[in-house]
Structure 1
Amino acid sequence: MARIIALDALITVSNRLQPLAAAVLCLMAAQLITAACTPEPAAPYAARVAVQR
């Protein structure tokens, strides 16, 4: 049976570093999820405003 590489690496990490490795995997998953989302079309660019002095 094929194992997922990330889970296999997580198992081999020492007990002290397992929470850190899990946090890194969660951050990677969150980045992939947010990268798949489409941006809101409301304000794609910052508006230029004239500043009076």
Structure 2
Amino acid sequence: MAVSIALAVSNRLQPIAAAFLCLMAMQLAVASCTPEPAPYATRVAILR
């Protein structure tokens, strides 16, 4: 599918299409990873 999309665009837009496809692949790879455990809220001392 990605190859057919890349062949359909003009020669001028091929590098941009390749970069866009790489960004989409990286986003999918990062989204599939489990997030690091992080606290939802932290207590901060407020001095008045």
Q: Which residue of 1 aligns with 2:47?
A: 52
TM-score by length of 1: 0.77
Of 26, 32, 38, 2:28 maps to 32
Runs of 4+ in structure 1 over 2 Å off: none
1:6 aligns with 2:2: yes
Identity of aligned residues (%): 67
Query: Does 1 or 2 have the higher relative contact order (CA < 8 Å, sep 6+)?
Result: 2
Where in structure 1 are there 5+ consecutive unaligned residues? Answer: none
Where in structure 2 are there 5+ consecutive unaligned residues? Answer: none
TM-score by length of 2: 0.83
